[in-house]
C-alpha cells in the first residue's frame, strides 16, 4: 500500500507572510523550517510558496526531476509566465529554460573551463593589489563598497577588457538601482504590475538599463571591427558557434548573456568577500591562521593560480563564509505537474523555493550551524568535533549549495572561487580588518544577501 500523501504544513495569514517575505525573510523562513519541517507551505498574496529545505528535497527539485520544473515562476498575464530578473537579464543563462537553456549552456561552458579561467588569475591578483594601494593604516573602510569595487574591476577586465575608470564600469557601478524598482520587488507575486507603474524608481531603472544596453552594443560593434582574437568574455561570446548548426548567437542573445555574466558575476563574489571579512573580524584565531598561511605560501609576492592548492585555510574561510551567508538569496522553480516530495503533494504550477541560508543551517549536517568554523572544510584536529566534517563521506552533496546545484549550477562557480581566494590572499599579505565598535551588522536579503548598511571596518597594516 502506498503512503498517503498530505498537504505540506505551514503558517496561516497571507498578509503577515507577504510582509515577512518582502521585508527581511531569512530568520522567518529558518523559523518555519524549524517549526514545520523540510517542506513548508507559505501563503503569499494569491499564491502559495512551497519552501523545500532538506538536501533530499532539494535533490528532487534541482537534480532528479529537474526537467519537471521551470524558472518562469511569475504570472505575467493571459496564461504567460516570466522568470524573476528577466527584466534585466533577458533570456540569459539565469532565466532561460528547456532545450534553449541547454543549448546556451553547451555554447558558453567552454569559456569557463578551469584552464581558460586560470588565464585570468594574474588579473585577479593585480586588481586586488590595486584596490588596496590607496588604503592607509587606521582607515575606516566600508568593506562592502571596497569589495564591490574590486569585483567590478575584475568583471570589467575579464568580460570587457576595460579598466575600472571606463564609462562601462561607471555605468555598471552607478547606473542600475539595486534597491528600488524591479530589482527590489521582482520576486513578489505582483511584481509585473508594479514594474509598469510610472514610479521614480522604475523610471531610473529602465533609463539605466537602456544606458547599459547602449554600451554593450557599442562594445559588440567595436569587437566586430577588430581582429576577432580577443580573450575577454564578450569576444568569446561573439565568436561562439553552435556545435550543430554553426550559427552564432544573435545580438540580443549576446546582450542577455553579457548582462547575466556582468550582474551575476560581480555582486555575488562581492557579497562573499564582504561576509568573509565580517566573520574574520569576529574571529581573531581564524584570521591569524589565514595570515600565517598567506605569509608561508606567498611571502611578499602576489599569488598565482599555482598557489591555490596550498591556500587551504584561505579557501576554507571563503567556503564557510558562503555557508553562513550564501551569495544568492535563493532559487525558484515552477512545477509543470503535481509532484511528491518528503511525503507531501505539491500541485502543478506551484512556486517552489530553495533558500540556501536555510539549507546551510540544518543541524543534521552542520553541527553548531551558526558558528563560523573554517576547520569544517579541512581534516585536522581529531579532538575538534567540527574538524573536517564538511568533507567526510556521508554528507549529502546538496546540503551545501552556494552556487546552486544540478544541471543549472552556476556556470561561473570555479571562476568565482578562484577570484575570491586570490583576493583574500592578495589583500591579506599586508592588511587585516577589525570590527567597528558599536556597529551592528544586519543582513539584507534581496537578490543577494549583503549588509543592509554596509560593513565599516578598521584597516590595520600588518
Q: What would the pLDDT profile of 308-327 be if each residue is shown by its tens digit? A: 999 999 999 999 999 999 99
Residue 21 domain flag = yes
pLDDT at 185: 64
Q: How far apart are CA 92 and CA 292, in angstroms?
A: 42
Per the listing, cell 567540527 goes with: 386
Task: Give me the mean pLDDT over the 255-262 stretch.
Answer: 92
Q: How far apart are CA 347 and CA 335, in angstroms?
A: 7
pLDDT at 281: 97
pLDDT at 44: 82
Is residue 33 within 8 Å of residue 330, measured between CB atoms?
no
- Strand-pairing partners, residue 404, are 402
Higher pLDDT, 277 or 224: 277
Q: How far apart are CA 280 and CA 121, in angstroms?
A: 24
pLDDT in tens, 38-50: 999 999 877 889 9
Is residue 351 within 8 Å of residue 50, measured between CB atoms?
yes
Residue 13 domain flag = yes
Higher pLDDT, 198 or 123: 123
DSSP state of 189: T
**Nine-digit cell string for 192:** 509585473
- Name 308's Cβ contacts closer than 8 Å, sequence gap at least 6: 315, 418, 421, 422
User: Other CB atoms closer than 10 Å to residue 435's CB: what's the count?
Assistant: 16
| Of 277, 405, 275, 270, the residue nearest 331 (C-alpha) | 405
**Nine-digit cell string for 405:** 546545484
pLDDT at 439: 95
Mean pLDDT, the chain, integer: 90
Q: What are phi and psi of 89, to 5 degrees?
A: -85, -15
Q: How far apart are CA 88 and CA 234, in angstroms?
A: 18
pLDDT at 355: 96
**Buried/exposed code over 388-398 (b: 16+ C-beta within 10 A; e: otherwise):** bbbeeeeeeeb
User: Other CB atoms closer than 10 Å to residue 106's CB: what's the count?
Assistant: 13
Q: Is 90 left (phi over 0), alpha (psi -120 to 50) or beta?
A: left
Q: What is the number of residues in the chain?
A: 462
Return the top range by mean pLDDT from 24-28, 104-108, 243-247.
Answer: 104-108
Q: Is 268 left (phi over 0), alpha (psi -120 to 50) or beta?
A: alpha
Task: Give me the mean pLDDT over the 453-461 stretch.
Answer: 97
Is residue 417 within 8 Å of residue 314, measured between CB atoms?
no
Domain that holds residue 346: 1-82+329-378
pLDDT in tens, 110-147: 999 888 888 899 999 999 999 999 999 999 999 999 99
In this prediction, residue 303 has a pLDDT band, given cuts at 50, 70 and 90, of: very high
Residue 419 domain flag = no
- Strand-pairing partners, residue 420, are none
pLDDT of residue 174 exceeding 70? no
- Strand-pairing partners, residue 170, are none
CATH of the domain at 40: 3.30.43.20
**Nine-digit cell string for 453:** 548598511
Which pTM value belongs to this model?
0.93
Vertex 390 angle, CA 406 and 381, to 5°:
160
Residue 338 domain flag = yes
pLDDT at 348: 94
pLDDT of residue 422 exceeding 90? yes
Q: What is the largest CA-CA distance in the chain?
A: 71
pLDDT at 373: 97
In this prediction, residue 154 has a pLDDT band, given cuts at 50, 70 and 90, of: very high
Percent of the chain with pLDDT over 90: 65
Distances 273 to 17, 42, 421 between C-alpha atoms, Å: 31, 32, 9
- H-helix or E-strand containing 145? helix 143-155
pLDDT at 1: 40
Is residue 236 within 8 Å of residue 415, measured between CB atoms?
no
- What's the domain count of the chain? 1
- Name 432's Cβ contacts closer than 8 Å, sequence gap at least 6: 280, 287, 291, 459, 460, 462
| Of 123, 117, 158, 160, the residue nearest 255 (C-alpha) | 160
Distances 390 to 33, 76, 369, 380 between C-alpha atoms, Å: 21, 41, 12, 12
In this prediction, residue 258 has a pLDDT band, given cuts at 50, 70 and 90, of: very high
pLDDT at 78: 74
Vertex 328 angle, CA 347 and 153, to 5°:
150
Q: How far apart are CA 201 and CA 260, in angstroms?
A: 21
Residue 36 domain flag = yes
Amino acid at each position: 500500500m502506498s503512503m498517503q500523501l498530505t498537504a505540506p504544513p505551514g503558517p496561516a495569514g497571507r498578509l503577515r507572510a507577504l510582509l515577512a517575505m518582502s521585508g527581511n525573510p531569512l530568520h522567518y523562513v529558518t523559523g518555519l523550517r524549524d517549526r514545520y519541517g523540510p517542506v513548508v507551505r507559505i501563503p503569499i498574496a494569491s499564491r502559495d510558496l512551497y519552501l523545500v529545505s532538506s538536501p533530499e528535497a532539494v535533490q528532487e527539485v534541482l537534480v532528479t526531476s529537474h526537467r519537471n520544473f521551470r524558472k518562469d515562476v511569475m504570472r505575467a498575464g493571459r496564461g504567460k509566465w516570466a522568470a524573476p530578473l528577466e527584466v534585466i537579464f533577458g533570456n540569459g543563462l539565469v532565466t532561460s529554460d528547456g532545450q534553449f537553456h541547454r543549448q546556451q549552456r553547451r555554447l558558453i561552458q567552454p569559456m569557463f573551463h578551469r584552464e581558460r579561467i586560470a588565464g585570468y588569475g594574474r588579473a585577479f591578483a593585480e586588481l586586488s593589489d590595486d584596490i588596496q594601494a590607496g588604503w592607509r593604516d587606521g582607515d575606516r573602510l566600508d568593506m562592502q563598497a571596497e569589495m564591490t569595487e574590486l569585483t567590478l574591476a575584475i568583471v570589467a577586465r575579464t568580460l570587457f577588457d576595460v579598466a575600472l575608470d571606463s564609462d562601462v564600469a561607471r555605468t555598471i557601478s552607478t547606473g542600475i538601482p539595486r534597491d528600488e524598482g524591479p530589482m527590489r520587488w521582482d520576486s513578489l507575486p505582483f511584481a509585473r504590475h508594479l514594474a509598469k507603474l510610472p514610479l521614480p524608481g522604475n523610471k531610473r531603472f529602465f533609463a539605466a538599463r537602456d544606458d547599459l544596453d547602449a554600451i554593450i552594443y557599442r562594445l559588440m560593434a567595436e569587437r566586430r571591427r577588430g581582429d576577432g582574437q580577443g580573450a575577454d568574455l564578450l569576444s568569446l561570446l561573439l565568436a561562439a558557434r553552435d556545435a550543430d548548426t554553426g550559427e552564432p548567437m544573435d545580438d540580443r542573445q549576446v546582450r542577455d548573456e553579457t548582462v547575466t555574466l556582468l550582474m551575476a558575476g560581480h555582486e555575488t563574489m562581492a557579497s562573499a568577500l564582504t561576509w568573509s571579512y565580517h566573520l574574520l573580524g569576529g574571529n581573531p584565531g581564524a584570521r591569524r591562521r589565514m595570515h600565517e598561511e598567506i605569509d608561508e605560501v606567498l611571502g611578499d609576492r602576489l599569488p598565482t593560480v599555482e598557489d591555490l592548492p596550498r591556500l587551504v585555510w584561505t579557501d576554507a574561510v571563503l567556503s564557510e563564509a558562503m555557508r553562513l551567508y550564501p551569495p544568492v538569496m535563493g532559487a525558484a522553480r515552477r512545477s509543470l505537474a503535481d509532484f511528491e516530495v518528503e511525503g507531501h503533494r505539491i500541485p502543478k504550477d506551484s512556486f517552489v523555493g530553495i533558500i540556501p541560508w536555510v539549507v546551510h543551517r540544518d543541524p543534521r549536517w552542520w553541527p553548531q550551524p551558526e558558528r563560523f568554523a573554517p576547520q569544517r572544510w579541512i581534516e585536522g584536529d581529531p579532538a575538534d568535533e567540527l574538524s573536517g566534517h564538511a568533507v567526510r563521506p556521508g554528507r549529502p552533496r546538496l546540503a551545501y549549495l552556494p552556487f546552486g546545484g544540478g544541471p543549472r549550477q552556476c556556470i561561473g562557480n570555479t571562476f568565482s572561487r578562484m577570484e575570491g581566494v586570490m583576493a583574500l590572499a592578495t589583500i591579506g599579505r599586508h592588511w587585516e580588518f577589525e570590527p567597528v565598535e558599536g556597529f551592528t551588522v544586519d543582513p539584507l536579503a534581496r537578490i543577494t544577501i549583503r549588509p543592509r548598511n554596509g560593513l565599516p571596518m578598521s584597516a590595520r597594516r600588518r
